[in-house]
Amino acid sequence: MAKTHVSTTINGEPIEFLCEPQQTLLDVLRDELNLTGSKEGCSSGDCGACTVIVDGHIVCSCLMLGAEAEGHKITTVEGIAEGEKLHPVQQKFLEHAALQCGFCTPGFIVAAKALLDENLNPTEEETRYWLAGNLCRCTGYDKIIRAVLDAAAVMRGENPPSPAA
Amino acid sequence: MPSLNFAAPTSVDEAVKILAGASGMTKVLAGGTDLLVQLRSGRARPELIVDTKRIPGLIGIREESDRFVIGASTPGVMIYENQALTRAWPGIVEGMDLIGSEQIQGRASLAGNLCNASPAADSVPALIAARATAVIAGPNGKREAPVEAIVTGPGQTSLQKGEFIIEFHVPKPKPHQSDAYLRFIPRTEMDIAVVGCGVNVTLDGNGVCTDARVVLAAVAPTQVVAEEAAAALIGDKLDNDTLAKLDAAAGRACKPINDKRGTIEYRVKVAGVLARRAAAIAFERAAKR
């Protein structure tokens, strides 16, 4: 069986890889490119732990073949921070302790970042609907939603008080 | 197990040639949100996957003088972001938008939702109600079929070997024509329809219905064009008597199964309720234009 040669852009860098036809983008990211930030939860598009941004839209990388990445621009959780500087969503996840086991966190960070790229002033309801495709079995979501709304405020230039430690 | 191959043709002709020439199980790939789950679970074991998304026109929405042309593999996010289509057919757009999460909307397509051939497919009833057609490419050229002619049973379609859908044609609404789609699920997001209902109505200047289509989902092996339910609307304004007739007729159109999502009795009841509610929304929208 022929491997497919794929040219793509991942986190701003041109990347080429070979993949088997049945390998998902998630398989390629984790197993071929050592980008293990994206997590495999359900492998059926329900949990969102493998969320990446493809050409500006979030997708489950478990529901996309590696071969389908040809010519597309992909952002993974590894591409969210600028060098050492955390994205406001990442910073607020830390401040709010919006994670416990952390397995769902990369997917939430990527999905929330994509929301704020599109809408800097989402309501709580909009934020909850947007993140309905990301499951967290530890936190009960409340801290996650607060972290995202606070990150939005920071990105709007406001200065929300940090939550008490 | 036979090995899997992947092809990503860049023209309709090339795709037809590949599909028609393939031996063994072949799957057409649009957004992949159903197909990849089936691959993973082993429910589908194709020898060839043919990705349609690099074929020009398969992704995108084009507005022509009398219709919208929606590329078969256009993802949900491009459909709900299209303002002209959303203004023209809010029901079609809300049906598509109900499918899955934001992540799923980034990939899932009308052709995929249709050809996966689930009786519960949310994007299908309003398309049928709007008298949309599917343009199918195949070894004998192109043909056009009403959307309701595609699905023949759960997981089964009328598409022949070498055929695949390239686009949907949706006529533009007439004056005082609009639509609505409602789905019942026991939660607010991320679930499969217990019942779905698309209603498309045309009114005269006095609010009297002159044309209607009522299409039900998840109450039979395929989507159901409920003709008696539509007839209950035509010639009347939307008063309580009309709504009661619609409710009863929608229930009679159902041939549901008992499963974990609902019993036969429950689905019949909910079909009537959804038909009434969707009709009320469609009438209100139609009266405003």
Contacts of A58 in chain B (CB under 8 A): 102-103, 106
pLDDT of residue A100: 95
* Domain spanning A4-79: CATH 3.40.50.10490: no
Please say whether the beta carbons of B152 and B30 come within 8 A.
no
pLDDT of residue A161: 81
* Domain boundaries along the sequence of chain A: 4-79, 88-155
Contact A133 B77 (CB under 8 A): no
* Domain spanning A88-155: CATH 1.10.150.120: yes
| Dihedral, CA of residue A80, residue A86, residue A87 and residue A92, to nearest 10 | 130
Please classify residue A10 by burial: count the beta carbons closer than 10 Å to its beta carbon, then call 0-12 exposed, 13-18 middle and 19+ buried.
buried
Reported ipTM: the value is 0.96
The tally of CA atoms less than 13 A away on the side-chain side of residue B87 is: 7
Report all structural domains of chain B as residue ranges with CATH numbers, in order of start. Answer: 5-51 (3.30.43), 63-171 (3.30.465.10), 177-287 (3.30.390.50)
pTM of the model: 0.96
A95: Cβ–Cβ under 8 A, 6 or more apart, which residues? A147, A150, A162, A163
* Average pLDDT score over residue span B164-190: 95
CA dist B160 and A47 (Å) reads 35
Q: Does A21 touch chain B (CB under 8 A)?
A: yes
Contact B39 A22 (CB under 8 A): yes
Residue B140 has pLDDT above 80, yes or no: yes
Nearest to B53 by CA among A29, A68, A6, A54: A68
B26: Cβ–Cβ under 8 A, 6 or more apart, which residues? B19, B46, B47, B48, B49, B50
Contact A67 B106 (CB under 8 A): no
pLDDT of residue B187: 84
pLDDT of residue A1: 61
CA dist A16 and A5 (Å) reads 7
